[in-house]
Every structure is written in structure tokens, then in C-alpha cells.
Amino acid sequence: MKKITLLTGSAALMAALSAPAFAQTEIAAGADATGISGINDRIIDVEDAVQDDFDRDNDAARFGNPDRREGLFGSVALTYAGSTGNEESQDFSLAGRVSNNAGPWQQSVGMLIEFGEDQQGNKDKEEVSTIYDGAYYFNDRFYAFVLGRFSIDGLANGDPDYDGQPDSEIAEKLGDFARDGFIGVGPGYRVINTEQTAWRVQAGIGYRYTQTGAQKSGFDLVDPDGDGVFVREEVTDSSDSGVGYIVSSRLYHRFNDMVFITNDTDYLSSEDSDDVITNQFGVNFQMSDQLATRVSYTTEYQENRPIRTDNTLGVSVVYGF
């Protein structure tokens, strides 16, 4: 079974889908035709990514339930783009979330549907995903969480049109999971919970089910008619399931109004896959009202791979004037 990618906390699932946002299609008359709008969109993407880095380090859940809105609420967002002419393609996405907060109990259900066709009219995405995130806060320190996820990939199982696509791309799609589900539960505890220092730990046990349309090896792609249309031969479904365990730690410490550090650690173990350990250490500097800097160092260890440890240095800087 592939490495189990368990979500590391209830806050992680909450970030999987975001509320819909609306913006102008161009920043000024003529901006679309001249290519200015496209570059402006990329600028916004970079700004959002940097802001997300800072927001993650602030850890909205470090002192307790991050969402105090009571009752039932939610949102739905849909987008579609289709092109004809020199190229023919289309992309469709539907995302939605329903949340309900009642006192100490917080829960959320999210849905994501994505469909796409490439320039040759071949399907390049056909996925449906749902997530569930639940948390019960017994008090300011002790809580319990439930995490659920289920995904369906229509291109990994079924009979999509692969006309004109390289064999390597077809093999990659057929090797993906056609079904991928996970459910996990566990307790969490805030060991330290002050304005200056916050440290919380949580541990959970989970169960995962996966099913592939074809294994990555042991199947053939043939072109019976010689017209470039490849079909699968002797495709065999392969399913697997297993129990996984995860232990997580989130540490936050503020030295003063200008500097704070974070250290996020996760250890993942399961019956049929390699152990995985990740650690991200971050230092945040608020040098002035206009200038902020974040430096992070991420280490990921995975058992039984040729180079077991990967290290990544990240730097984010925001300057406003």
C-alpha cells in the first residue's frame, strides 16, 4: 500500500476548501488582451501564498476552538471554463462546505468535484472528494477530534479516452487510486496554554482503504486497431486496507512583540507502509509595521527510501508601504 497520508489535525482539514472569493476579471480596460490580467493574477497568488505561510505559523487553533460562530452555516462555489478554436478544452469545479457549531462541538463537511478535458478533448481530471472534520472541546486544554476523507478518481478506474496521449501518462493515471478513504479519531491536549507559550499534542488511530483500477506493474496497454487508441488488457482491481497511527506536536513561543518561533512535528506509522516523520521549525520577525519575515526549515524522514531525509529551507518576506 502506498504511504498513508494522514491529515495531522482538525485544522488541516478545515483548510482543504475555502469560502468562495470574487474578483474582477481584469484590473483595467485592455488588461486582458495585453496579458496584464494574467500577470496580476499570479502576483495575487504569490501574495496569498506568503500570507498563508504567516497564518499557518500563527496557528488559529493554539488556544482553543478557532471558529466561535454558532449554528449551521456554509457556502458553495462553482467555476467553469471552456475554450474552442485552436484548442478545445474545458474545466469544471464545484466546492462546498457545511459547518455546524453547537457549544463545545464543532463539525464540518466539505465536498469537491473537479472535471477537466485537455486540448485533445481527453479527460485529464475526473475526481470527487468529501471530507469530515469534527472536534469536541471538553475544556480549554482537552479536546477530541474526528477526521474523515473519501476520494474517487474516475480516470484510475473505468474507460476514459486516451487518444493521442503518451503511454507514460496513461500508465500514471491507471496507477492512481480509484478509491481512497480514511477515518481517524483521537484525543488532544494543550500542555502549555499562555499568551507567550502554547504547546499542544495529539494522537490518533485511523483506518484507510484504497482501491486501484490497475496496478502500477503487471498490466499492458495495447493498440489493437493501430489508430493510436490504447486500451487496457487484463486489468485487475487491487484493494488494500490498514491501520495507521499518528502523533503530533505543535509548539508556539513568543520572545517579544517582534519575534516568535514555531515547531511542528508529526510521526506517522502504519501496518503496511513506511514510517514517516516530519518537522518544521519556523522563526517569524515583525521588524516593523511595514516589514515581516518568516524563515522555516522543514525535514521529512521516510523509512526505506534511497535518501531517507529531505530538507527544505523556506523564506517569506512581506513589506508594505
For the cut 90, the answer to whether the pLDDT of residue 4 exceeds it is no
Greater pLDDT, 62 or 180: 180
Q: How confident is the model at residue 162 (pLDDT cuts 50, 70, 90)?
A: low
For the cut 80, the answer to whether the pLDDT of residue 295 exceeds it is yes
Q: Region 77-92: what's the mean pLDDT?
A: 84
State the Cα–Cα distance between residues 230 and 165, nearest whole angstrom: 9
Residues in a beta bridge with 233: 220
Comparing 71-75, 91-95, 152-156, 218-222, the range with the smallest average pLDDT is: 218-222
Q: In the block, which residue shows the cell 474507460? A: 159
Residue 167 has a pLDDT of: 53
Q: How confident is the model at residue 281 (pLDDT cuts 50, 70, 90)?
A: very high
Record the cell numbers describing residue 304, joined without a space: 526505506
State the Cα–Cα distance between residues 290 and 304, nearest whole angstrom: 46
Taken in order of first residue, the domains within the chain and their CATH numbers are 10-21+30-319 (2.40.128)
Residue 35 has a pLDDT of: 77
- ∠ CA 66-202-267, nearest 5°, is 120
User: Which H or E element spans position 46?
Assistant: helix 36-58
Comparing 3-7, 75-79, 182-186, the range with the smallest average pLDDT is: 3-7
User: Long-range pairs for 314-317 at CB < 8 Å and ≥24 separation?
Assistant: 314/53, 316/50, 316/53, 316/54, 317/50, 317/291, 317/292, 317/293
For the cut 60, the answer to whether the pLDDT of residue 171 exceeds it is no
For the cut 60, the answer to whether the pLDDT of residue 91 exceeds it is yes
Percent of the chain scored above 90 by pLDDT? 27
Q: How confident is the model at residue 161 (pLDDT cuts 50, 70, 90)?
A: low
State the Cα–Cα distance between residues 130 and 58, nearest whole angstrom: 27
Instruction: Give me the count of residues in the chain.
Output: 321
